Structures are given as C-alpha cells and as structure tokens.
Amino acid sequence: MADTDTREQESLGPGRDPGGHALPLPPLELMERVGQLTVPPGSLEARPALAKLAAEARPWFRPGDPGETYVRLGEILCEQLLEALPDGWSSHGKRVLDFGCGAGRILRHLPSRAPGAEIWGCDIDRPSVEWLEQNLSPPLHVFVNGEYPPLPQPAGAFDLILVGSVFTHLAEGWSAWLLELRRLLSEDGLLVVTFTNTGLSFPLEEAEWHDGWDEDRIGMHVFNSGATWDEGGPAIYHSMWWIEAHWGRAFELLHLQPVGWGFRPGSLYGQGIAVMRRRGGDLTPDDLEAIEPGEPREVEALRYSLRNSQLETAFRRREAKHLSDLVDSERRRLENKLAAQRKRLARERRKLRRRRRKRERAEKEARAYRRSLSWRLTAPLRALVRVAAAGAPVSRAPRVRSVRPRHLVRSLHRRRR
C-alpha cells in the first residue's frame, strides 16, 4: 500500500486502539464463525494435506491460543489485501467497507492499517455485528445486511470494498451481490475479492466422489453443495479464466493472483486475490452468468460440474443409506437391550413377591408361636439364657414371674372345651 503514514501504523500496532490498549476479543463462538481456530485431536494425523496446510500457517497459527491466532491471522489477511492495491493508493479521506466482516477479524485492524479512512463493516450474522457495535463502535461503523441485495448505502458510497472469503461460499446470488458492490463503488473505487483456486483444492482430491482439480474444467465449481451454513456452507472454486470472462464483464481486473492469501510469501496455499475497478454500462445478473461466447471450456466446465454433482449425490445417498442402516441397527440393539432389561426386571419382581410372601408366612408363624403355651412356659429359661450369654452373675438375673400350676390347669381346660 502506497502513501500511508507508516509511523502511525507502528504507533497503533495490530489490534490496538489509539491509546495503545489492546482491543477486546469476541467470544470463541463468534471468532470461529469465520474460520476454525482450534484443531481437534487426531485430525492432522488423519489428513496429511491438512497437516501440510497447518505447517504453512505457522506465521499466524498458535496451537492452544485461539485468541492470538485470531488476531495474528486477521492482521496478516488485512495487510495482504491492502498490499494488493495499486501503487500510490492512499487511505486518507477514503471510505472503506469490509463486506462480510464477521466479528471483525480484518475490520479491527483497518483503523491502524488504513489511517485517515472512515471504516465500515457489514455482515449477515447479527450476533457478530451486535458484538462489534458494543465493543468496537466507534470508531467502526457496522450494520447487518440481508441475505440478498441491496445494501442501505447510496450509490458510490465507498472508495474501497474488501470482500474476504465471501464469494468462496456463494453458490446462489453471487452475480447480484457482485453488481451491488459495483453500485456502491465511487467512480475510481476499487473492489478487492478473494476466491479459491488451487491453493485450497485438497478437499477435491480427498473426496471419494470427486475427480480432482482441473483448471480448464473447474470454471465456477460448487463443492459440498449440501453443507449447511453451520457447517461452513458449500465451497466455491474458480478458475482464473472464468473470473476474467465473467467478473471481467463488470470490472477491470487490475491484479489477479491464484494463491497466497493468509500465508507466507511464495506459498502455494491459501485463497487468491482479485483487485478490480468498476466498468461502466448497465448489467444484470444474467449478463454476468451467461456463457462466454467462443469459449469451449465453458461447456466442458458445466459437464464437469454436472458429473461431479451426480457423483456427490450418489455418494451422499450411499452415505445416508449407511447412516440409516447404522441407526436401524442401533435401534434394534437398544430395543433388544430394553426387552432384556424388562424381562430381568419382571424376574426380579417375581422374586421379590415370593420373598415377601415367604416373609409374611414366617412372620405369621412367629406370631402364632409366640402366642403358644410352650413359648410362654419356656420364657423364664430364655431369660436365663440371655443373662448367661451377657456374662452377668446369675444372682443378678432379673426376676421372672413364674407360671403357677393352677394357671396351667385352667389353660388346659379351656383348650379341651
């Protein structure tokens, strides 16, 4: 970036306010909505391509410290977007928009990296924008945008629009958004957009159903189309020739690099960067999406996309069938386990009822035995036995009421009657 006050950048430093204090960090949940910052155990060992990617990311990747990783990555991404601008571009007096800013991964660094500029940001994720409003506004200006255009700003509102990792996930509506950003640019305004080319193509090679990367047949290629936004959404790949043919209808391409965004200089990883200046003329989304006349790679790219979509659909169906079989198997296992537990519980209940009846009979017999004549006749003897067992002298044994003979005779007469 040319003609900027380097001393002011150094005084503010990355992620700091004008007073030199460190800026607050958003919650981890918001930070990871724009990219995963933690690595699950075993994931790098299971995916060698991902392990290579992590090794290339060492300038900013801090294992075990997602906050530091978030700040360092945002700083590098911001610097590389601004470094791609034409020589002589100055930020002073400019209005800059970070489209798809999230919780401010790049936006938080713009006041120090683009001094003298009025900084704006917008995102579709309301919690992220609300956090920015509560913690970093002012000096930042932020607002929530809808899923589809337009934005609430007037035409020509911004001199520079940065779009990091947005069109890498837009399978639908990309042409309408591209034209809306073109509307918001001033007459000499610049649009900086990142895209995915060979630098992050390893998922295509890893996928069981995909034929892999082929620059001539990729065009605009949708991968993992069934992914939800919580899962990161679909991944969009662009060939360089396709960008020149389609994006070039609305913009003059000033700079186009296929890889490197977010990685060290010379790296073959990362997204590509396109720096564009708006062209004149009235265009519609259909104009941008139309097949380029006389370009045989267009038709081949459509065939390639259709073939891999069919392969992905077949794979997803097999995967869904496999998961359904696993669910059915687990359900049967649980049902059998529940039935066995019910049988065991029924047996225990029967055992308990038998024991209860046995105890009740024993208690009934004991009560009858205690009321019997023999039990009462032997009461003195049992008392003596208890005293002897306790070790007390016999002379100290408690007096036990003797049973007189006439009581026995009366009792016998009653029984005979």
Q: How confident is residue 2, by pLDDT bands cut at 50, 70 and 90? A: very low
User: What pLDDT shows up at residue 406?
Assistant: 54
Mean pLDDT rounded to a whole number for the chain: 85
Contact 136, 108 (CB under 8 A): yes
User: What pLDDT shows up at residue 19?
Assistant: 56
Q: How confident is residue 288, by pLDDT bands cut at 50, 70 and 90? A: very high
Average the pLDDT over 96-117 and give the result. 96
| Tens of pLDDT, residues 30-43 | 998 887 777 666 65
Burial class of residue 56, CB neighbours in 10 A (0-12, 13-18, 19+)? middle
User: What pLDDT shows up at residue 8?
Assistant: 36
| Tens of pLDDT, residues 46-74 | 566 666 666 666 666 777 788 888 999 99
Average the pLDDT over 123-144 and give the result. 95
C-alpha 130/C-alpha 107 separation (Å) is 14
Query: What pairs with residue 221 in β-bridges?
Result: 237
User: What pLDDT shows up at residue 11?
Assistant: 33
The alpha carbons of the chain give a radius of gyration, in whole angstroms, of: 41
User: What pLDDT shows up at residue 13?
Assistant: 45
| Tens of pLDDT, residues 321-376 | 999 999 999 999 999 999 999 999 999 999 999 999 999 998 888 888 888 888 87
User: What pLDDT shows up at residue 380?
Assistant: 85
* pTM for this entry: 0.75
User: What pLDDT shows up at residue 10?
Assistant: 38
Residue 81 pLDDT exceeds 50: yes
C-alpha 139/C-alpha 127 separation (Å) is 19
Higher pLDDT, residue 400 or 387: 387
Cα–Cα distances in Å, from 415 out to 375, 378, 405, 408, 409?
Answer: 16, 19, 16, 11, 10
Domain boundary assignment for the chain = 6-315, 373-416
What would the 3-class secondary structure string for 80-148 be? HHHHCCCCCCCCCCCEEEEECCCCCCCHHHHHHHCCCCEEEEEECCHHHHHHHHHHCCCCCEEEECCCC
Higher pLDDT, residue 389 or 194: 194
Residue 186 pLDDT exceeds 60: yes
Provide the percentage of residues in the chain whose pLDDT is more than 90: 59
Domain 6-315: give its CATH architecture. Answer: 3-Layer(aba) Sandwich (3.40)
| Tens of pLDDT, residues 228-283 | 766 777 899 999 999 999 999 999 999 999 999 988 888 889 999 999 999 989 99
Query: Cβ–Cβ contacts within 10 Å for residue 132, how many?
Result: 25
Residue 416 pLDDT exceeds 90: no
CA max distance for the chain: 134
- Transcribe 325-381 into DSSP letters: HHHHHHHHHHHHHHHHHHHHHHHHHHHHHHHHHHHHHHHHHHHHHHTSHHHHHTHHH
